[in-house]
Structure 1
Amino acid sequence: MLLLRCHLKRALPQKVLCRLCAVMGKLQSKFKHSTYKYSRPDGFIEERIQTKAFQEYSPAHMDTVSVVAALNSDLCVSGGKDKIACIYKSSQFFSASRDKMVMMWDLQRSSQPRQQFSGHTMVVTGLTVSPDSSQLCTGSRDNTLLLWDVGTGQCAERASVSRNLVTHLCWVPGEPYIIQTSEDKSIRLWDSRGLQVAHTFPTQQHIQTYCEVSEDGHKCVSCSSGFEGEGCEATLWDLRQTRSRICEYRGHFQTVASCIFLPRALASMPAIATSSHDCKVKIWNQDTGACLFTLSLDGSGPLTSLAVADTISLLCVSFSRGIHLLRVDRSQGLELREVAAF
């Protein structure tokens, strides 16, 4: 059967490389009770309990896991207190940590970093790489964005905005633009050609924690902090001519830490997934804002990051239980179930 095996690399402190591979046997098999909400055609919302066997492995991390990214359909990289950026189906990825440094790694060439980027004066809290891997943009709590030449490791551009404490960066596919969220509750669109602010979206009511751009580059989704249902939303934005708000997704009760577009092959419709400190993963109809499914990972602690693993799976990481593999089940509509934790 398909299981998760973790490979710790001593050369990658606080990072774990995790590979899906076919093996005989299992480390530990349990029955997992998960609760979720199901919206019936008549509009009534039912809460259901599902009991599924799943595989639980020794934790890949000994501490909080804050980020996960998929390198390909069977390989992912996760970080403790780090930030990670990569391009899907590439062996290269970038990591940033509290030592103000950014490293570039290439799994096919060496277990040691290939390039080092040093220039921020405070912790690096955001990074994103251009689609052609030639440029890297980093953001920090020092209110600056730096644009790097990946090949030389040299800083090509520097920009600073007062009180712009960067929380996340995302490159727009096929464009020279970068989306950035901030603790100042702003979402900015940067033009990498000179690293200038091209557009600032309407200021939100709460800290913006994360952002992602759709594969076609036409839309962006961001999410916000909050407590007891105040804030705690995700917002869909138009990146084309109007650059206006399209839709909001409300239903979480604590900070929404991650939001991603789901491939149509996975969801069979335009859909968005969010994970929150309220221990829930939600799937939303992208166009209407309706919540299609809610999976509760009780006992996991705050959920901090989501990533698409392949056409049927998501990766989700949490404070208390490490990395969760979630599988899409369409037998009774669009549902998620946890199949492994490590």
Structure 2
Amino acid sequence: MGKLQSKIRRRSDLYRATRGEAVESAPSSQVIQYDPAHTDAITCVTTLNSDLCVSGGSDQAVVVYDWRAGRKFRAFHGHNREVTKVKCIPGSSWILSASRDKTVLMWDLNCGAEPVQEFCGHELVVNGLAVSPDGSQLCTGSRDNSMCLWDIESGECLQRKTISRNLVTHVCWVPGAHSIVQTSEDKAIRVWDSRTWQVTNTFPAKQYIQTHCDVSSNSNYLLSSSNGFGGQGCEATLWDLRQPGCKVVEYRGHFQTTACCVFLPPLPGAQAMVATSSHDCSVKIWDQNTAACLCTMTLDGSGPLVSLAPCDVNSLLCASFNTGMHLLHLDHGAQVDLREMARF
């Protein structure tokens, strides 16, 4: 777990904001409560731009929220089951959402309330959603053991492949490359070539189900996270993508399933860091290279913390089952610290 484990930070009292009140105006010791983005558990979150985030939830809604101003920007309704993943297409106003209803829908932030494209073909819940670096192709993965490649504009399925026991949990497209990484309930991590639609590498199977993955912005490293209980499993793992299957370090310290793991935006001259969130209601910040735990924040009563989305070098969004979305401030001072700023 590392030698630099800090004391646990717990949430402060809530401060209910008036409409349009900015985060900076709240008392420093209190957390702003904005109007909720969802009416039920939030299952996934990503950032659209420097001000807007996109989330999906058990209420079947896809919500675009201005996290700086604390107000709902748009809401899309089209799925008839829980939304499992959301993704934004770089350089466009298009948003993609996957669901337990076996479909992926595409929305245009600048158009009406109806989806502009629908991707149908999976037989079970879609858990994987990734967009190619040029924004032209979509990769989806499902519990039906299949991975599919789609043309985004036409909605045509270009490739499909099924691998026994490959119950996909998450998918990441490697920046600037033709490679796609996916995690699975069979505990394996697979690397696909989008040109041939073949698995080019399979990492050594972990002891527990792999729940999530993320790729560093320089395409050199992969993060994966594991389920578990009682501190067994529950870790995140850093892999070197240049040497497939080469494990660099493990981040150990959560007591229940580690549901999400992300690389944090680099701060010039500062140590590289990663963040993890867990069913044990905690978010941890780690030194990427040494695996030392730099900071832990526990959000009491939040339930599983299932998704993280860095907004900038100082801001991190965390989706919870019970208490909505949490906006966390990352302090890069003499000691790294996390502070809850707002929730919605």
1:202 alignment partner, one of 198, 201, 204: 204
- Scaled by the length of structure 1, the TM-score of the pair is 0.84
Counterpart of 1:167? 169
Question: How many angstroms apart in 2 are the aligned matches of 1:288 and 1:332?
Answer: 18
Cα–Cα, structure 1 residues 209 and 153, in superposed 2: closer, same or farther, change >3 Å?
same
Contact 1:280 1:297 in 2 (8 A): yes
Question: How many angstroms apart in 2 are the aligned matches of 1:143 and 1:38?
Answer: 37
Question: How many angstroms apart in 2 are the aligned matches of 1:219 and 1:38?
Answer: 20
Contact 2:9 2:298 in 1 (8 A): no
Question: How many angstroms apart in 1 are the aligned matches of 2:147 and 2:39?
Answer: 31
* Aligned-pair CA distance for 1:269: 1.6
Counterpart of 2:285? 283
* Aligned-pair CA distance for 1:108: 2.3
* Aligned-pair CA distance for 1:49: 6.3
Question: How many angstroms apart in 2 are the aligned matches of 1:290 and 1:76?
Answer: 29
Question: How many angstroms apart in 2 are the aligned matches of 1:331 and 1:242?
Answer: 35
1:213 alignment partner, one of 206, 212, 215: 215
Contact 2:9 2:338 in 1 (8 A): no
Q: Where do residues 61-140 of structure 1 align in structure 2 (5 Å cutoff)?
A: 61-80=38-57, 81-82=82-83, 83-87=85-89, 90-140=92-142
SS, match of residue 99 in structure 1? coil
Contact 2:223 2:237 in 1 (8 A): yes
Q: What letter matches 1:316 in structure 2?
A: C
Contact 1:59 1:321 in 2 (8 A): no
Cα–Cα, structure 1 residues 87 and 262, in superposed 2: closer, same or farther, change >3 Å?
farther
Counterpart of 2:294? 292
- Scaled by the length of structure 2, the TM-score of the pair is 0.84
Question: How many angstroms apart in 1 are the aligned matches of 2:195 and 2:5?
Answer: 50
Q: What letter matches 2:149 in structure 1?
A: L
Cα–Cα, structure 1 residues 137 and 54, in superposed 2: closer, same or farther, change >3 Å?
same
Q: What letter matches 1:252 in structure 2?
A: H
2:35 alignment partner, one of 49, 52, 58: 58
Q: Percent identity?
A: 57
Contact 2:106 2:116 in 1 (8 A): yes
The unaligned stretches of length 5 or more in structure 1 are 1-36
Counterpart of 2:231? 229
Counterpart of 2:267? 265
* Aligned-pair CA distance for 1:146: 0.6
1:157 lines up with 2:171 in the alignment: no
Question: How many angstroms apart in 2 are the aligned matches of 1:87 and 1:190?
Answer: 20
Question: How many angstroms apart in 1 are the aligned matches of 2:267 and 2:193?
Answer: 31
* Aligned-pair CA distance for 1:266: 8.6
Q: What letter matches 2:105 in structure 1?
A: M
CA deviation vs aligned residue, 1:84-140 (integer Å, no higher than 9, x gap): 122456422210111111111121234321111111111111111111110001111
Contact 1:72 1:88 in 2 (8 A): no
Which stretch shifts more, 302-311 or 161-170? 302-311
The unaligned stretches of length 5 or more in structure 2 are 13-28, 58-81
* Aligned-pair CA distance for 1:194: 2.1
CA deviation vs aligned residue, 1:154-192 (integer Å, no higher than 9, x gap): 000111100110000000001101000000001100111
Question: How many angstroms apart in 2 are the aligned matches of 1:159 and 1:49?
Answer: 45
Q: What letter matches 1:288 in structure 2?
A: T
Contact 2:6 2:294 in 1 (8 A): no
How many matched pairs? 303
Q: What letter matches 2:284 in structure 1?
A: K
Question: How many angstroms apart in 1 are the aligned matches of 2:11 and 2:98?
Answer: 38
Contact 1:266 1:328 in 2 (8 A): no
SS, match of residue 264 in structure 1? coil
Which stretch shifts more, 261-270 or 112-121? 261-270
Which stretch shifts more, 44-53 or 329-338? 44-53
Counterpart of 2:79? none
Cα–Cα, structure 1 residues 264 and 65, in superposed 2: closer, same or farther, change >3 Å?
same
